[in-house]
């Protein structure tokens, strides 16, 4: 089976993804949590959390819920 080529999202999506990452980082820091603490609470790899906060990764809805729960904020707050 041939995998389809990855399509680069439009710029507006990348901008919103970066803003999401900033909100995750800000919420994490406001909760006085390290990335490592979030990883321990979610089971996510630290590289995954780093990529999300940097806006380079697009998390699944499940990951969004894990992050919100670990940080102690509603998922909607992270989405903005």
pLDDT tens, position by position, 8-60: 899 999 999 999 999 999 999 999 999 999 999 999 999 999 999 999 999 99
| Higher-scoring residue by pLDDT: 26, 2 | 26
CATH code reported for the domain at 13-76:
1.10.260.40
Structure tokens at 60: 């699944």
**Predicted local distance difference test score (pLDDT) of residue 68:** 98
The answer, yes or no, to whether residue 3 has pLDDT greater than 70, is no
Q: Contact at 8 Å (CB) between 45 and 39?
A: yes
Tabulate helix, strand, coil % of the chain (nearest 5). 65, 0, 35
């Amino acid at each position: 089976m041939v995998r389809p080529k990855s399509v680069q999202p439009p710029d507006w999506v990348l901008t919103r993804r970066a803003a999401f990452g900033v909100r995750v980082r800000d919420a994490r820091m406001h909760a006085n949590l390290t990335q490592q603490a979030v990883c321990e609470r979610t089971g996510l790899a630290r590289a995954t959390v780093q990529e999300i906060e940097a806006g380079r990764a697009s998390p699944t809805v499940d990951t969004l819920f894990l992050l919100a729960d670990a940080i102690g904020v509603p998922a909607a707050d992270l989405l903005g």
